[in-house]
Structure 1
């Protein structure tokens, strides 16, 4: 198994982000959640810390870290606010990473400095109203008109796509048919704003209220031919590889939420009295919390392992799927148990566990449902 011990630099970063989450994110998390407002002031503070450039080279304005370090930051943010954590995750692994992995040198120089600095956000336009888990069902089209791509279609559930600082959305689109008669899917960078591109009104969501999520409409959107990202016809395959990495980051987010539920439950069980003693003195409560801690530890170990494999250049697709599966299920289960431990107070939005409960469910859906993860694991077992 790869070495998953944190270096001194990684531990220092983790502690710094944890302090930032407690002192900057936590005081405004409930307000942004209630008002369903994007936390621009928090994002600006994260940008000043260099968090959006964590996994990218210094030559593009990044911090020169790695994906594992980004995951550590995401976990710490999610212990306080999943909306802020997913804003960072999507900004880095979905917005900027496709440019870094598949872009030309000119594209990298054009986009990465502003994305790494946090002054701009990018989005990842894969999902469509009729193409979720079946991403190969893409219907958005892009045709060449001389030296210009003309895009038409719709995207759904796109994070960071409608903020005041969103500057690009990379979309998958049908660009033709292969020699074998299959759909040719390519990826094209759409700058924001561009005529014909519309971020429709934000969704009314169960959770992640302070995260920006919109359906998108593209009507005769015209962008230069040079905005093709990566090789023509490789868009679907390239985005699948981006999702493999992103699942590790989502697992880190899920672990942060799961750990927060443990910590909130321990604090409540120590101070809440019933029948003359703290409720934590009852095995029904203490054993429940012990199981929550064990669940979180296993999930963290899984994502550490996947991240370490990725960093060392070893195959990690199966391990990323395992990490996403066990971490998201740990988050949902811990959130439910924490709410139960809090009793009636757990149903009140003034308590963080209520927000964690609402925020947790999407983790079993986004960036590949639990069923998709099981399918990927089974395929690696030869089934």
Structure 2
């Protein structure tokens, strides 16, 4: 008996469910729950790298070993499994954008880009072509019906909530999407996998960005955008030269490590990056405080609201803010806000929408910090 109500609007025996399978335990248990429902289930895995490169990777997502693991799970469950070659789409829409953002001094969020592109937009289209009644993923979020209208809510386990990365989900996609593990803690997900004898029950979670499994972001960007390795000046807020750096690719806003400029009364942090001048501007921690952020490319799932809570990093807590004309005004100065990040808006547990931060306004100055182009 399935532990999940997939809310298909028809008998499950007459339904078809497509499951996005990355090869990890989360999507595998999502497929298990779908198979237990009695519906016809089809597993789909995206191949995002060429085969020769993918087989070398482990601990990532949609890599060679992961494709094999997804196939093994599907065989165990007795469901069909397809592999879609999305390598070129992923390179253009995620990897190249990631490198461009770093080259422009921005702080990219590639997981959000991936979900907005190949993982939801393209998979949604594929599921529709197959005549699916639901597209299931292993994300820790919840789809909640309110008066018959679906809403996107945080995962029940706050330590696993992935809603920040899914702010770009559209209303049309949410009609088809289902998230069967969103109500569960990770320990229960692993227990279900072990109980069913799935070969990935003890498989470690993926770490870092999937296409940089060794965590060497700078190495990837240097290969794709070699100009980012050019050395340059480190200056203070008044423009005084304090030292030199080995290349802007090694730094993001808020970073302290690697500056190697001693002799100051208080620690200094990267306040902004000026890539065209190959310059890092540094200052004390109060200089990182942000009062406002201008946000573009909004995706909105909820009703218009002015008083909301906002997250600017996946692991941060939502903080009170006011929305007006595409701008976010934080009620208290917020740290760790940088162009390129996603600003995600909530009303309690409900995700209302979000967009990309284009520029910020310092809480310690009336003029906006320079926006990276």
- Bigger strand fraction: 2
TM-score if structure 1 supplies the norm length? 0.29
Q: Which has the larger radius of gyration?
A: 2
